[in-house]
């Protein structure tokens, strides 16, 4: 799958891609804060999600 990514600052990225179905996804990934926000258009409906993550070694 093709995607684009933009580094906003150290540890903060915007990642975008389109699914084969035509759905579109945008992630804001903040590795410094351990947070992610996702905005998607899925089946013509807008969906927004937020969450956190923990590094596992």
Q: Please give the residue range of the domain that contains residue 26.
A: 3-52
Our count of domains for the chain comes to 1
What's the pTM?
A: 0.82
- Between CA 19 and CA 2 the distance in angstroms is 9
Banded pLDDT at 4 (limits 50, 70, 90):
very high
Place of tokens 């969450």: 51
Please indicate, yes or no, if residue 48 is contained in any of the structural domains.
yes
* pLDDT above 70: percentage of residues in the chain: 100
Please indicate, yes or no, if residue 18 is contained in any of the structural domains.
yes
Q: What is the mean pLDDT of the chain?
A: 94
- Between CA 34 and CA 19 the distance in angstroms is 25
Please indicate, yes or no, if residue 28 is contained in any of the structural domains.
yes
- Between CA 44 and CA 8 the distance in angstroms is 28
Please indicate, yes or no, if residue 57 is contained in any of the structural domains.
no
């Amino acid at each position: 799958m093709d995607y684009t990514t933009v580094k906003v600052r150290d540890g903060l990225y915007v990642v975008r891609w389109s699914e084969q179905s035509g759905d579109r996804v945008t992630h804001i990934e903040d590795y410094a804060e351990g947070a992610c926000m996702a905005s998607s258009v899925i089946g013509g409906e807008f969906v927004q999600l937020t969450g956190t993550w923990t590094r596992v070694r």
